[in-house]
Structure 1
């Protein structure tokens, strides 16, 4: 399959022809060429409405999914499917909240109404880490094959830039603007990201835990 390259550079490209419909993106590691799951691709077009029935599950002492992307104004429930209690929290500017020790489903969902990256932790299980990406634009998360398909309006030219985020970006507190080069082509648009190697241990989570305990 032929892929259109998207580099993390800023440059001017000619306007693209109007090509509405569904478009696929393939997100890869620029260093190794391996596909990247849990990458969020955001198109510069407004999202239709907040998402419904959205959950960030705790299962096997992990957040499932590890990366959840939602439209601003979405309420998210945090069902605990483990046989132990969890204590979910975030200090992120886009959403600071805390759900103290609980089992089952909390009484109330959490409203995510500000755009940004929300990092999650559990004060009981230090290894647990998750992310909620909140945006007011059309978006999707790549699967295990590194791909995501998004729809684009029929009456608009395909965008010259998209926003992309991944947990292993050098600074994963914000997304990146990615310029798309060349005319629209059949197949998928490949987006290459400079990401950190897969960590053996996650020091960033330990720092998050320490901040909670210092309160």
Structure 2
């Protein structure tokens, strides 16, 4: 088994935007402008990109882990903004804010569920078999979160320095995918050897169109 390591870069100018907060939520969302970090870049390195071996690209079957993944609504944002889960893995959606949210999830243009979640409510526990799941809030329309569902556990999300690492990958040749909520999909071929890291760099120009999974992002307010 080996490791796939790499970095995600952005060569163009990142999107910068502040979203006016909902006034009825003072002081939860109103006391300052909400900075919608759709694109987070440090020294040309891009955060929040999901990198995975393509679906169906790893031989064998993989059981969903017993541990639940967690998505939290905190400071009127979804945290983490993007994460990967294995098919069938339970996801707990929490509301840590002192205000009402409604969790409106999509797969493509299809609504999967739309449920109010008051402050202090129990988590909503969901699972999905495949796809890129988008989480929104109709009360606070800038809120976006993404859960990328894969049929194996070989995925990672790029950190603040753009780096990622996928460990314990069976030796072999694979197609690697990088998906960013604003800039979409990039692919690369990679060969993994036992005990020898494979190195991959993904580069976005910043001119890419919004991906279909997120086409209505902030209703065109970029």
Structures share fold, TM-score greater than 0.5: yes
Does the Cα contact within 8 Å between 1:26 and 1:188 map onto a contact in 2? no
Quote how far apart the aligned CAs of 1:179 are: 2.8
**2:8 touches 2:201 (CA, 8 Å); kept in 1?**
yes
Number of the residue aligned with 1:53: 68
Identify the residue that residue 3 of structure 2 maps to in structure 1: 22
Residue 91 (structure 1) aligned with residue 106 (structure 2): yes
TM-score w.r.t. structure 1 length?
A: 0.69
What stretches of structure 1 of length at least 5 have no aligned partner? Answer: 1-19, 209-215
SS class of match (1:103): coil
Instruction: Please state how far the C-alpha of 1:153 moved relative to its aligned partner.
Output: 4.1
Alignment match, 2:148: 133
Indicate the residue corresponding to 1:104 in structure 2.
120
Residue of 156, 161, 181 corresponding to 2:175: 161
- Relative contact order (alpha carbons < 8 A, sep ≥ 6): 1 or 2 greater? 1
SS at match of 1:206: helix
1:212 corresponding residue in structure 2:
none
* Contact 2:11/2:204, CA 8 A, preserved across alignment: yes
Which ranges in structure 2 are unaligned for 5 or more consecutive residues? Answer: 14-42, 209-213
Counterpart in the other structure of 2:48? 38
TM-score by length of structure 2 reads: 0.67
The separation in 2 between residues aligned to 1:144 and 1:23, in whole angstroms, is 18
Change (3 A) 1:153 1:196: closer
Question: Kindly tell me: are residues 167 and 42 of structure 1, through their superposed partners in 2, closer, same or farther at Cα, counting changes over 3 Å?
Answer: same
RMSD: 3.3
State which of 212, 216, 221 in structure 2 corresponds to 1:204.
Answer: 216
Q: 1:177: Cα distance to partner?
A: 3.1
1:121 maps to what in 2? 136
CA 56–92 in structure 1, closer or farther in 2 if over 3 Å, else same: same
- In structure 2, relative to structure 1, the CA distance for the partners of 1:89 and 1:23 (3 Å cut) is same
3-state SS, counterpart of residue 217 of structure 2: helix
- 1:76 counterpart (87, 91, 95): 91
Report the equivalent of 1:8: none
Alignment pair present for 1:189 and 2:203: no
Instruction: Tell me the distance in 2 between the aligned counterparts of 1:207 and 1:144.
Output: 27
Residues 140, 107 of structure 1: alpha-carbon distance in 2 compared, 3 angstrom cutoff? closer
CA 1:84 to 1:192, structure 2 compared with 1: closer, same or farther past 3 Å?
Answer: same
1:41-67 CA-partner distances (Å, limit 9, x unpaired): 112326733242211000010000000
